[in-house]
Amino acid sequence: MGKCALSIELEDPTAAYRAGQKVRGHLQVVADADVRIRALTVYAGWQTRGMGNVASEHGTQVMLFSGELAAGGSQRYAFEVETLPWPVTYNGFQLNVEHFVEATADIPWAVDPKVSVPIQVLPGDYQPPDVEPPRSPAMILMLALFLFFNLFFIFIALSFLGPIPIVLIGIPVLLLCAAGGLLLVFKWLPQMYVGRVNFHLDQLRLSPGEELRGYFSLRPATAIEPQFIHFHLTATEVCVSGTGTNQKTHRHELFSRQLVLADQPRLAANETTRYEFHTRLPAVAAYSLKLTHNELHWVARIHVGIPGLVDWKDELYLTVVPPLDPMTADALAPGRLAAQFTAELPVPVTRDAAPADDTITFAETISHILSVRTSPEQIDVLVDAVAGLPLELSARIGRRSLLGGDEDVLLAADEQVVWAEHENPPLPLSLYIPRQRVEAFERASGTVWTGRGEIVGWDRRGGRLQVRIDG
Amino acid sequence: MPVDSWLPFAQWNLRYNPFGELTAAECAQVAVFDPEPYIEVLRCGRAAVQFIGDCGRGKSTRLLTIQQRVGSEAAFIYLPAFAAVTPQWWLQLWRLRGDLLIIDEAQRIARPLRSRLFRRGRPLVLGTHRDLTRSLQRAGYQVTTVPVGPGNNAQHVRRMANARLAAARLGPGEVPQMSLAEAQQLVNRFGDDLRAIQYFLYHQVQHQAGRNGQMRFID
């Protein structure tokens, strides 16, 4: 039996390649005995590494040699293979995509020697197709399940109770009632509670670091007061290992961000309330993937907490693709670091809804201030009147102020001031932020934030309304 | 030490996390199991080897190792749940051709098919949860039964882990090694369930991706 050893030497072992780019190198074959090689081939490819069953793809095989090698003989063959366009190298938590250049010698009646060298493949010109959301069980499958359970329970009932005809009608009716009950509890009642809803994202195809904008509107048929309305953005690796009864699905949340659109809002009957939100995808190279047994999902989800009922949820699948500019793609952090971008951000939400009661709103207060802007005394009176009232406000976050406590008597020891701008009507604001939230506000610079605060004063010199934000 | 910085385990001279899922060929490569004595047994005519044990103990790994060692002369089939009542699987099983038949989850062979299949007299390697000795002996087989699981002690776990670490080697040089004491702690915690140990080690190692220092297998 002939044997030989293979080794690959890449032209530039430290190079990172673009998807579809050619990799050049040399393949060395050393025969320890006389050996007949049916085919000495080299190819590029990728395979998954991690918790899921291995998915892989090999590129075109390039045949370098076929024939006999004498014992002790050594040959060196130059080769050139093309990296596969998709997926690119990915390092996640339970899913990784490894690209390689591999060579193998097909030797009759012996174990084929193989050698493989990992390479890094970065995004190129290729743009992957849109991700399709997982299909919900088909109607035919649900009917088949219903029939199966019917027959199963009829069989059991007949075995125990004997041939009673009522069983043939009773069991299907009972099962229909059970199915209807489940649908009522899990689908219809939550849907009736929230009324007409619209969950919309401006774009479903984005790149890391880009802004995701959208809105959620609802028009309940009766006045409601849900516990909360949340928007979630998550990236999840879903890997399946084993087969049959040994099959196991592993999920790992790479990234999760929650925006509180509303906390115990009071929503009037037959009035449309619209929550606009925007957030930024983390700048990590974690693209949407759909490989056999290995997937990476980006999902935007709305969650309405319903008191005493099952919560209402809806979700949209995003397709996260490499940026068009390869240099931007190269600067992204590895996917496994996505969790570091998860830190809670302030809530960039605007609510377009009628006030729930007759108290003055923040926007109305600002309108009044603007109407008496030329009279600082009147502004002081107005500010004193509304000071201490908890108000909901929206503002575009600016930069952190460098003023210290000795220059600002309102500034507490554990606070910092962040400048912001109320947009409609326009008025500069000084936000007094608890220290633990300052970093999050700084990261949200440039975005619109919505939350609760109380007016604490008026900065005559800077012409800014001073607002303390809840801790 | 290799300098492939895009590889999160390069600082340990590892190409990837060694405790993830592997291809059948890789699985056979890292198996701590010598298939030769069983292949010898199977060469003696009407012989059957059955590996019996619970899930995650190493039955399938043993079957794959034998398949990789025998090569294309062996035919391998995994029977999923309900294979016993699914005509499609009866057909696939009936069409199975090879000098050696390897059947994983063999307890799922439909009873009428089982006796017909065994009457063919081909050498058999079975992975099963139930002892099939009687059916095999009725068909004239010399049966070798190998319980899988009781041998999964600390020594075995250590060898399994170190074989996986060696297979994930990135370049020439040392790779981390699991000690017997660490393996013993794993056995104390997970018993003989190798799959549970593998999942645990995957997470342990993955949490250390990109870090420096000695690799820790146990907290």
Is B216 inside a domain boundary? no
| Per-residue model confidence (pLDDT) at position A407 | 67
Residue of B nearest to A245 (CA): B81
Contact B16 A98 (CB under 8 A): yes
Residues of B in contact with A16 (CB under 8 A): 6
**Each residue's pLDDT tens digit, B191-201:** 999 999 999 99
Q: Are residues B172 and B196 in the same domain?
A: yes
Radius of gyration of chain A (CA): 31
**Each residue's pLDDT tens digit, B15-43:** 999 999 999 889 988 999 999 999 999 98
Partner residue facing A54 (CB), from B22, B55, B105:
B22
Contact B15 A98 (CB under 8 A): yes
- In chain B, what percentage of residues exceed pLDDT 90? 67
| Per-residue model confidence (pLDDT) at position A380 | 79
Q: Are residues B92 and B105 in the same domain?
A: yes
| Per-residue model confidence (pLDDT) at position A350 | 55
For residue B41, the distance in angstroms to the closest alpha carbon of chain A comes to 21
Contact A53 B15 (CB under 8 A): no
Taking a contact as any Cβ pair under 8 Å apart, which residues of chain A between 71 and 90 contact chain B? Answer: 89
Higher pLDDT, B146 or A157: B146
For residue B168, the distance in angstroms to the closest alpha carbon of chain A comes to 11
ipTM of the complex: 0.87
**Interface probe with A: pick from B21, B72, B73, B200, most Cβ of A within 10 Å:** B21
Residue A283 has pLDDT above 80, yes or no: yes
Residues of A in contact with B89 (CB under 8 A): none
Is B219 inside a domain boundary? no
* Structural domain count of chain B: 2
Residue B1 has pLDDT above 60, yes or no: no
| Of A93, A371, A90, residue with least CA distance to B17 | A93
Instruction: State whether residue A246 sits within 8 Å of chain B by CB.
Output: yes
> What is the domain partition of chain A in residue ranges?
4-122, 127-346, 362-469
Residue A49 has pLDDT above 90, yes or no: yes
**Each residue's pLDDT tens digit, A328-377:** 888 888 877 776 665 444 444 555 544 444 467 888 888 888 877 777 77
For residue A349, the distance in angstroms to the closest alpha carbon of chain B comes to 34
Residues of B in contact with A54 (CB under 8 A): 21-23
Contacts of A112 (CB under 8 A, 6+ apart): A104, A105, A106
Is B211 inside a domain boundary? no
Fold (CATH) for A4-122: Immunoglobulin-like (2.60.40)
| Per-residue model confidence (pLDDT) at position A404 | 63
For residue A56, the distance in angstroms to the closest alpha carbon of chain B comes to 10
Is B4 inside a domain boundary? no
Q: Are residues B108 and B126 in the same domain?
A: yes
For residue A317, the distance in angstroms to the closest alpha carbon of chain B comes to 27
What mean pLDDT is predicted for residues B60-81?
Answer: 88
**Each residue's pLDDT tens digit, A389-408:** 778 888 888 888 776 656 67
Whole-number Å distance between alpha carbons of A86 and A101: 15
Is B158 inside a domain boundary? yes
Domain extent for B112 = 28-147
| Per-residue model confidence (pLDDT) at position A346 | 44
Residues of A in contact with B210 (CB under 8 A): 334, 336
Q: Are residues B176 and B72 in the same domain?
A: no
- In chain A, what percentage of residues exceed pLDDT 70? 94
Q: Are residues B72 and B168 in the same domain?
A: no
Residues of B in contact with A244 (CB under 8 A): 78-81, 105
Partner residue facing B78 (CB), from A94, A96, A244:
A244
Residues of B in contact with A47 (CB under 8 A): 23
| Per-residue model confidence (pLDDT) at position A339 | 67
Fold (CATH) for A127-346: Immunoglobulin-like (2.60.40)
For residue B165, the distance in angstroms to the closest alpha carbon of chain A comes to 14
Higher pLDDT, A164 or A27: A27
Residue A30 has pLDDT above 60, yes or no: yes
Q: Average pLDDT over chain A, rounded to whole?
A: 86
| Per-residue model confidence (pLDDT) at position A406 | 63
Let me know if domain A362-469 sits in CATH 1.10.150: no
What mean pLDDT is predicted for residues A50-78?
Answer: 93
Q: Are residues B138 and B95 in the same domain?
A: yes
Q: Are residues B140 and B33 in the same domain?
A: yes
What mean pLDDT is predicted for residues A190-194?
Answer: 92
Residues of B in contact with A94 (CB under 8 A): 20, 202, 206
What mean pLDDT is predicted for residues A41-68?
Answer: 96
| Per-residue model confidence (pLDDT) at position B2 | 45
> Across chain B, which distance is largest between two alpha carbons, in Å?
61
**Each residue's pLDDT tens digit, A266-275:** 999 999 999 9
**Each residue's pLDDT tens digit, A410-433:** 777 788 888 898 887 888 899 988
Instruction: State whether residue A172 sits within 8 Å of chain B by CB.
Output: no
Q: Are residues B59 and B167 in the same domain?
A: no
Residue with structure tokens 């043993």?
B62
- In chain A, what percentage of residues exceed pLDDT 90? 45
Contact B8 A47 (CB under 8 A): no
Q: How many CA atoms lie within 13 A of B121 on its CB side?
A: 4
Q: Average pLDDT over chain B, rounded to whole?
A: 91
Whole-number Å distance between alpha carbons of B52 and B126: 8
Partner residue facing B23 (CB), from A54, A93, A120:
A54
Is B50 inside a domain boundary? yes
Q: Say whether A362-469 and A127-346 share the same fold.
A: no
CATH number for the domain spanning B100: value is 3.40.50.300
Residues of A in contact with B86 (CB under 8 A): none
Q: Are residues B105 and B50 in the same domain?
A: yes
| Per-residue model confidence (pLDDT) at position A438 | 82
Is B140 inside a domain boundary? yes
Is B85 inside a domain boundary? yes
How many Cβ atoms from other residues are within 10 Å of residue A208's Cβ?
Answer: 26
